[in-house]
Structure 1
Amino acid sequence: MTTLGCALLPTFSPQQYLSIARAADAAGLEELCLWEDCFKETGIAAAGAILASTSGLRVQLGVLPVPLRNVALTAMEIATLEGMFPGRLEPGIGHGVQSWMEQVGARAASPLTLLREYATALRALLAGERVTVSGRYVSLADVALDWPPTTAPPVISAATGPKTLRLVGEVADGVALDGGNGLTKLRAATDTVRKAYDDAGRTDPFKIVISVPVATGPGAAERVQAWLPSWDLPTDTPEEYCVWGDSADEIADGLRAFADLGADTINVQPLESEPDPEALVTFLGQEVRPLLL
């Protein structure tokens, strides 16, 4: 069964977050994915407010840039929210956009080494383990959480290139793909990450999460065409990256193409030009989601 959620980009203001989240919760959407882009909203602060303001919505943090955050602090924050809202937080990490990491003096010489060390340590801390490690970037001396989660949440990691995809298949509980991937890249990413997972001899759960830009209502096709160049995507194959239409059947059919290629969770990404995001998430939850069950 495909999980349907909404990817709430930080191009929306903090003042909009709660109303969109409440509309998604009321409409029965299963998940809200938050982005932590420099230098916009933070994932942890927004997640806490949204979890406290909704009743059933799961929040995916997609994703926390690891160069900005000490792994022990990240584990503490995740464990705190998990303790308050059990089973409703799905943390996500990534090595961050390197130009942004450079701006804040946190760029790692080897982002892959950092991500490997960080993901390994974070999963161990959330599992209640006592961790001592002295890596190139992550150093912990006899560290354990006083309040570890009763059940450790899965740690998802963002990935784009093949090296990161292979790493994520080895050390994370799932992969998060942003709205610029499209169907062809999803197929390749799924093959790469699943092979790395298999080669590592893993049998534990692993999920593939993708954000898919969606537009409905008057001018939907035009808004899609205007959005594509903003992400440096070609405008001659919009169906490769986006889904648009007026009916729930059209939207469900478009999203199903991503599910058929291996996406376990599809987070609909409203365009920055979306005139009524609350109405969009209500439409998705009430009319589109039943068609994907």
Structure 2
Amino acid sequence: MTTLGAVLRPQLPPERLRDIARLADDVGLEELWLWEDCFREGGISAAAAALAWTERLRVGVGLLPVPLRNVALVAMEAATLHRMFPGRAVLGVGHGVQEWMGQVGARPESPLTLLREHLDALRALLRGERLTTRGRYVTLDDVALDWPPAAPVPVLAGATGPRTLRLAGEAADGTVLTSSTTPEGVRRARRLIDEGRASAGRSDPHRVVVYLLTATGPDAAVRLRAEFESEGLGPVPDLGVAGDAGAVAAAVQRLAEAGADAVILQPTGDEPDPEGFVRFAAEEVRPLVP
């Protein structure tokens, strides 16, 4: 079954999170995803609060920018969340927006090298291993978690370019794709991910999560078009969806058929009713998605 979720965009102030997370839990939404965009809400603090306010909702962070975070700290945070809320936290890591990384003096010369080193170390620490490594960016000396997760923890990687998609296949347990990914883009991403998995000899499951820019209501098409224009994107077939639950479910199904395991509905930045959007996803779109 295709997992369906929604994004709580960081354009909303942090104090809105409690009511929306509780609503998502009450109406049966499967996953609520948060973003750690500079310089808005912190991803881990927001995720911890959302998990504490809810009972069954899975909360994703897509994604934590690795230039901002020491890998030992990410491992500590991830392990803590998974021990307190088993199976309910979904964490993705990635390059981050390089302009933002430059603003805080953390822009690496080789984002790909940093991400590879970070993924390798993070997954080892979360497996409970004791690790000593001296890479170009990641250095650990006899480091192990006192409280590793009680069960295996998948680590997802955000990826768009070919080299990062192959790296995600090699070194991550899943991949997060942006809302600028069409169904054909999902197929292409799956091929590149599988190339990476083959090169690393991996046969374990690899979850693909894709955001779907979604607008509903009487001005849906206008808001969707304005969002793409603000991102410098012209009209692209099958990119985003504006319409009722049937139209959205059909777009979700196209992404699922292309290889997405989870489709996360991403509202426009000017969504007038975030609570209504969550209810729409859970109560109107979910019953139409196999």
Pick the TM interval, shorter chain: over 0.9
Does residue 269 (structure 1) correspond to residue 269 (structure 2)? The answer is no
How far 1:130 sits from its partner (Å)?
0.7
Deviating runs (4+, > 3 A) in structure 1?
none
How far 1:187 sits from its partner (Å)?
2.3
User: What is aligned with 2:238?
Assistant: 240
**Quick check: 2:174–2:207 contact (8 Å CA) kept in 1?**
yes
Q: What is the TM-score of this pair, normalised by structure 2?
A: 0.97
More displaced 10-residue stretch of structure 1: 7-16 or 89-98: 7-16
Secondary structure at the residue paired with 1:213? Answer: strand
- State how far apart, in whole Å, the 2-side matches of 1:258 and 1:164 are: 20
- State how far apart, in whole Å, the 2-side matches of 1:4 and 1:40 are: 25
User: What is aligned with 1:257?
Assistant: 254
**Quick check: 2:211–2:263 contact (8 Å CA) kept in 1?**
yes
User: What is aligned with 1:221?
Assistant: 221
How far 1:7 sits from its partner (Å)?
1.8
User: What is aligned with 1:46?
Assistant: 46
How far 1:182 sits from its partner (Å)?
2.4
**Quick check: 1:212–1:242 contact (8 Å CA) kept in 2?**
yes
**Quick check: 2:179–2:266 contact (8 Å CA) kept in 1?**
yes
- State how far apart, in whole Å, the 2-side matches of 1:178 and 1:228 are: 13
Give the partner amino acid of 1:291: L
How far 1:173 sits from its partner (Å)?
0.4
Give the partner amino acid of 1:95: H
- State how far apart, in whole Å, the 2-side matches of 1:187 and 1:203 are: 18
How far 1:50 sits from its partner (Å)?
0.2
**Quick check: 1:4–1:268 contact (8 Å CA) kept in 2?**
yes
How far 1:240 sits from its partner (Å)?
2.2
**Quick check: 1:173–1:206 contact (8 Å CA) kept in 2?**
yes
User: What is aligned with 1:34?
Assistant: 34
User: What is aligned with 2:134?
Assistant: 134
Q: Deviations over 1:236-255 (max 9, x none)?
A: x3x52111212x22221121
Secondary structure at the residue paired with 1:227? Answer: helix
Question: What is the aligned length?
Answer: 290
Q: What is the TM-score of this pair, normalised by structure 1?
A: 0.96
Secondary structure at the residue paired with 2:214? Answer: strand
Alignment of 1:32-181 (within 5 A): 32-181=32-181
Structure 1 unpaired stretches of 5+? none
- State how far apart, in whole Å, the 1-side matches of 2:274 and 2:255 are: 22
Alignment of 1:8-27 (within 5 A): 8-27=8-27
- State how far apart, in whole Å, the 1-side matches of 2:8 and 2:180 are: 15
- State how far apart, in whole Å, the 2-side matches of 1:291 and 1:153 are: 30
Q: Deviations over 1:122-150 (max 9, x none)?
A: 00111111111111111111111000000
Give the partner amino acid of 1:134: R
User: What is aligned with 2:203?
Assistant: 203
**Quick check: 2:184–2:258 contact (8 Å CA) kept in 1?**
no
- State how far apart, in whole Å, the 1-side matches of 2:270 and 2:181 are: 20
Alignment of 1:175-190 (within 5 A): 175-190=175-190
**Quick check: 1:10–1:40 contact (8 Å CA) kept in 2?**
yes
How far 1:183 sits from its partner (Å)?
2.7
Secondary structure at the residue paired with 1:91? Answer: strand
**Quick check: 1:117–1:138 contact (8 Å CA) kept in 2?**
yes
- State how far apart, in whole Å, the 2-side matches of 1:130 and 1:3 are: 34
RMSD of the TM alignment (CA)? 1.2
More displaced 10-residue stretch of structure 1: 281-290 or 109-118: 281-290
- State how far apart, in whole Å, the 1-side matches of 2:85 and 2:201 are: 32
**Quick check: 1:91–1:153 contact (8 Å CA) kept in 2?**
no
- State how far apart, in whole Å, the 2-side matches of 1:152 and 1:77 are: 15
How far 1:64 sits from its partner (Å)?
0.4
How far 1:287 sits from its partner (Å)?
2.1
**Quick check: 2:246–2:288 contact (8 Å CA) kept in 1?**
yes
- State how far apart, in whole Å, the 2-side matches of 1:41 and 1:290 are: 32
- State how far apart, in whole Å, the 1-side matches of 2:121 and 2:223 are: 42
More displaced 10-residue stretch of structure 1: 23-32 or 153-162: 23-32
Alignment of 1:272-287 (within 5 A): 272-287=269-284
How far 1:269 sits from its partner (Å)?
0.2
Q: Deviations over 1:168-188 (max 9, x none)?
A: 110000110111222332222
